[in-house]
Amino acid sequence: MRFIDSHTEGEPTRVIIAEGPDLGSGPLTDRLARFASGFDHYRRAAMLEPRGAESLVGALLCEPDHPQCAAAVIFFNNTGYLKMCGHGTIGLAVTLAHMGRLETGIASIQSPVGIVNVELLSPNEAAVENVQSYRYRKNVEVDVEGVGTLQGDIAWGGNWFFLVNWSPAPLTPANIPELSRCARLIRRELERQNITGANAEEIDHIEFFGPPAAADAHSRNFVYCPGGAFDRSPCGTGTSAKLACLAADGKLAAGDVWIQESIIGSRFRASYRIGESGAIIPRIVGTAFICAEGRLIQQQGDPFRNGIVLSEET
Task: Tell me the catalytic residues.
Answer: 85, 235
- Taking the C-alpha atoms of residue 204 and residue 227, their distance in angstroms, rounded to an integer, is 9
Q: Is 38 exposed, middle or buried (0-12, 13-18, 19+ CB in 10 A)?
A: exposed
